[in-house]
A = this chain, B = another copy of it.
Amino acid sequence: MKIILVGASGDVGQAAHAELSKRHQIIRVGRKTGDVIADIADRRSIEAMYDQIGAFDAVVSAAGDVHFAPLTEQTETSFRLGLDHKVMGQVNLVLAGLPRISDNGSFTLTSGVLDRDPIVSGTAAATANGALAGFVTGAAIEMVRGLRINVVSPGLLDASEARYGAAFPGHERVSSARVGRAFAKSVEGAITGQVIVVG
């Protein structure tokens, strides 16, 4: 398969790449580095990415910014980042990709653990994660041409420990290999409309 991997340079993106690149052609996409440069915050940048790549069989998104802060310090602007970038950015990858993706292709998005196991300062992330779960639940029954859609919801990756570990007291860390296999389950399997928990 020819797979577009958005957010390829992040910890989750690298985990997906390590597993999927064993068997598939991967087009790495990032804001600053990659085979193709694109920013999912901008619908036109997404369209240009698809124009540049041409035909493809699957989209894997491991992209999406969100602002971490205590709830009482979240402003409308800071809170909206997660809705605009992590949610609407990934939704736009799907909306713009629908008319272009091959028959029987798949979209696999990334959310995270915080809507089922919250942490302090994680409310905007929990909101974005919940939105993505709702999105794939709704979108899966509207897919055409054998298309599928899922979202991978990983716990904190071992690879992310140094940067984020202190904010996740007591959370089990998950191996990058397990996260990579979750993306393979979505892309190579047959399930749709699922939140694939890795926790």
Interface residues of A (CB under 8 A from B): 43, 70-72, 74-76, 79-80, 83, 87-88, 91-92, 95, 98-99, 114-116, 118-135, 137-144, 193
Q: Are A129 and B123 in contact (CB under 8 A)?
A: no
By beta carbon, the residue of chain B nearest A124 is B138
Q: Are A127 and B87 in contact (CB under 8 A)?
A: yes
Main secondary structure of the interface of A (DSSP, over half): helix
Q: Are A126 and B135 in contact (CB under 8 A)?
A: yes
Q: What number of copies of this chain does the assembly contain?
A: 2
Bound Cα distance A140, B117 (Å): 12
Using known A-B contacts A130-B135, A133-B130, determine if residue A87 contacts B91 with beta carbons closer than 8 Å.
no
Q: Are A142 and B127 in contact (CB under 8 A)?
A: no
Closest CB pairs A-B (n = 10): A130-B134, A126-B138, A123-B138, A131-B131, A115-B134, A71-B142, A126-B134, A130-B130, A127-B135, A127-B134
A88 CB contact (under 8 Å) in B80, B114, B129, B142: B80
Distance between A117 CB and nearest chain B CB, rounded to angstroms: 9
Q: Are A128 and B126 in contact (CB under 8 A)?
A: no
Distance between A119 CB and nearest chain B CB, rounded to angstroms: 8
